[in-house]
Amino acid sequence: MEKKILEKFAKRVFIMALTAAMVFVFAACGGSDSSDSSEDSGSADAGAKTTVNVFAAASLGNVMAEFEKTYEEAHPDVDIVINADSSGALQTQIMEGAPCDVFFSAAQKQMDELQDEGLVVEETRKNVVNNQLVVITQPDSETAVTGLADIAKAKSIALADGSVPVGKYTRVAMINLGLLKAADDPATITTEDVSEQLGGVEISEQGNVSKVLTAVEEASSEVGTTYLSDTVGHEDGVKILETVGYDVTGDIIYPVAQMVNQDADDAESAAAAEFIDYITNDDAKALYQQYGFDTDVE
């Protein structure tokens, strides 16, 4: 009898000890999981990047891609996101509330209007580069056009609309050459008006300089007007008929500025300011020149 009682007692002690051991192991594992989870979370937070939204004129696409690459290599905690389009389209997006930290325009007009709306951070605006208007065609083209003055000889023209800076500068040049009637704001001269005043020539209206370049490169238009910078790297696809002088177009100044972004935190605002410094310092000039921009600006 005593032997059976002792056996039962020993069995109970064994079960209790086994249970306690299992609880201990479970708690230890749970603590380890919690610690790992915390470490993973910390690691994820440490790997989070600061995003800087940069709205840049389409004609800056190539050079900005270079700046994005080199800046991110030097600042691995920052993600530069480029939104490239016509300056007019980008201005509209900003005014409609699109989150933008840096705006790099192909003309002063769009920046002026954003500044009037209080959307430009004070004392961050800088004039960066100048550009030149060019008349282009295909390398093997037999066009009779020699430049902007006789562009009406073309069978078809790719032309940006007036809200696009290159479209406005083309209209300004045409007015100065006597091809178009003067207007208080050349940007308001419609594509239809241009066609009519040039004798009814066919005009394909384009939304930015890149689309003008593509239209000519693919021969859907005989000639077109774009910027000198846009032809860099496309020498096999287009031929420059004329580089139009500043005396005809006026200066084509590109300003950059930090935008008022209510959604940006302190880190994003600081990174935006640093990126502007990066693309406007003296070391940046060589890259702009490589892509056909004139860095001699005031």
50-129+256-290 and 133-249 agree in CATH topology: yes
Is the pLDDT score of 271 beyond 70? Answer: yes
Least confident of 8-22, 51-65, 138-152: 8-22
Distance between CA atoms of residues 227 and 135, nearest Å? 8
70 backbone dihedrals φ, ψ, rounded to 5°: -70, -35
Taken in order 108, 111, 113, 118, the sign of the CA dihedral is negative
**Per-residue model confidence (pLDDT) at position 3:** 44
- CB neighbours of 178 closer than 8 A, spacing ≥ 6? none
Show me where the domains of the chain are located.
Answer: 1-30, 50-129+256-290, 133-249
- Strand ordering across the sheet containing 133-137: 202-206, 156-160, 223-227, 133-137, 239-243
Q: What is the pTM of this model?
A: 0.79
Q: Which of 27-31, 198-202, 279-283 bottoms out in mean pLDDT, i.e. has the lowest?
A: 27-31
Q: How confident is the model at residue 48 (pLDDT cuts 50, 70, 90)?
A: confident
Number of helices (H), then strands (E), belonging to the chain: the values are 11, 10
The H-or-E segment that residue 119 falls in is none
Triad 290, 145, 199: Cα angle to 5°: 125
pLDDT at 103: 98
Return the pLDDT at 47: 61
How confident is the model over 253-257, as a mean pLDDT?
98
Q: Where residue 246 falls among pLDDT bands split at 50, 70, 90?
A: very high
Those residues whose C-beta lies under 8 Å from the C-beta of residue 81, and which sit 6 or more positions away, are 51, 52, 53, 54
**30-48 burial code (b ≥16 CB/10 A, e <16):** eeeeeeeeeeeeeeeeeee
Q: Give SS3 for 50.
A: strand
Instruction: Count other C-beta atoms under 10 Å from residue 154's C-beta.
Output: 22
The CATH topology of domain 50-129+256-290 is: D-Maltodextrin-Binding Protein; domain 2 (3.40.190)
Looking at residue 34, its pLDDT comes to: 42
pLDDT at 279 over 60: yes
Residue 76 burial (CB count, 10 A):
9
Q: How far apart are the first and last CA of the chain?
A: 109
Which stretches of the chain are assigned E, i.e. beta strand? 50-57, 78-85, 102-104, 126-130, 133-137, 156-160, 202-206, 223-227, 239-243, 253-258
Pick from 64, 55, 49: which is nearest to 99 by CA? 55
Averaged pLDDT score across all residues of the chain: 88
The stretch 152-163 carries a mean pLDDT of 97
The pLDDT-based confidence of 281 (bands split at 50, 70, 90) is very high
> Which residues, other chains included, contact 90 with Cβ-Cβ below 8 Å and sequence gap of 6+?
55, 56, 57, 83, 100, 103, 105, 110
Q: pLDDT of 119-157, one tens digit each?
A: 999 999 999 999 999 999 999 999 999 999 999 999 999
The class level of CATH for 133-249 reads: alpha beta
